[in-house]
Amino acid sequence: MINNICQLIVSITIFINGLESAKVIWTGDHERRLYAKLAENYNKLARPVRNESEAVVVHLGMDYQQILDIDEKHQIMNSNVWLRMSWTDHYLTWDPSEFGNIKEVRLPINNIWKPDVLLYNSVDQQFDSTWPVNAVVLYTGNVTWIPPAIIRSSCAIDIAYFPFDTQHCTMKFGSWTYSGFFTDLINTTISPATYKPNGEWELLGLTSRRSIFFYECCPEPYYDVTFTVSIRRRTLYYGFNLLLPCMLISSLALLSFTLPADCGEKLNLGVTIFMSLCVFMIMVAEAMPQTSDALPLIQIYFSCIMFEVGASVVATVIALNFHHRSPEQYKPMNKFLKTLLLNWLPALLGMERPDVLEMSVHGAHYASDNKQKQKQYLIEVERHILTRPNGNGHSAVDKAVHLDLSTGNPDNKKSPSPKRTNPAIVGMKGLPTTHMNGGLESSINKYTCTKVTRPIENGSINYKSPQLNPSNNNNIYKPNTPKSPFEDRHFHHLLNELRVISARVRKEEAMHALQADWMFASRVVDRVCFLAFSAFLFMCTAIISYNAPHLFA
463-479 pLDDT, tens digit per residue, is 444 444 444 444 444 44
- CA dist 61 and 149 (Å) reads 13
Is it the case that residue 368 has pLDDT exceeding 50? no
pLDDT, the chain, mean:
76
> Which DSSP category does 471 fall into?
T
Of 404-408, 443-447, 512-516, the range with the highest mean pLDDT is 512-516
- Tell me which of 58 and 252 has the higher pLDDT: 58
| Domain-wise residue ranges, the chain | 56-234, 238-353+517-547, 358-447+465-473+490-513
- CA dist 431 and 381 (Å) reads 13
Instruction: Check if the beta carbon of residue 288 is closer than 8 Å to that of residue 299.
Output: yes
Range scoring the smallest mean pLDDT among 270-284, 305-319, 391-405: 391-405
Instruction: Check if the beta carbon of residue 242 is closer than 8 Å to that of residue 163.
Output: yes
Instruction: Check if the beta carbon of residue 286 is closer than 8 Å to that of residue 258.
Output: no
Superfamily classification of domain 56-234: Neurotransmitter-gated ion-channel ligand-binding domain (2.70.170.10)
- CA dist 87 and 5 (Å) reads 63
Q: How far is CA 418 from the centre of its chain?
A: 59
Instruction: Check if the beta carbon of residue 178 is closer than 8 Å to that of residue 113.
Output: no
Q: Which residues, in sequence order, are CB contacts of 219 under 8 Å at separation 6+?
A: none
pLDDT mean over 405-420? 41
SS3 label, residue 243: helix
pLDDT mean over 312-328? 85
The pTM score is 0.62
* pLDDT-based confidence at residue 376 (cuts at 50, 70, 90): low
* pLDDT-based confidence at residue 15 (cuts at 50, 70, 90): low
- Tell me which of 170 and 435 has the higher pLDDT: 170
- Tell me which of 552 and 441 has the higher pLDDT: 552
Of the candidate CATH numbers 3.40.50.170, 3.40.50.11270, 2.40.420.20, 1.20.58.390, the domain formed by 238-353+517-547 belongs to 1.20.58.390
Range scoring the smallest mean pLDDT among 240-254, 265-279, 428-442, 529-543: 428-442
494-507 pLDDT, tens digit per residue, is 888 888 898 888 88
C-alpha closest to that of 371 among 357, 385, 387:
357
pLDDT at 115 (0 to 100)? 92
The CA radius of gyration of the chain, in Å to the nearest whole number, is 53
Of 72-86, 383-397, 427-441, 500-514, the range with the highest mean pLDDT is 72-86
C-alpha closest to that of 247 among 22, 469, 544:
544
3-state secondary structure 69-129: EEECCCCEEEEEEEEEEEEECCCCCCCHHHHCCCCEEEECHHHCCCCCEEECCECCCCCCC
% pLDDT > 70, the chain: 70
How long, in residues, is the chain? 553
Alpha-carbon distances, residue 300 vs 141, 243, 277, 511 (angstroms): 60, 12, 13, 47
pLDDT at 474 (0 to 100)? 46
pLDDT at 16 (0 to 100)? 59
- Tell me which of 443 and 240 has the higher pLDDT: 240
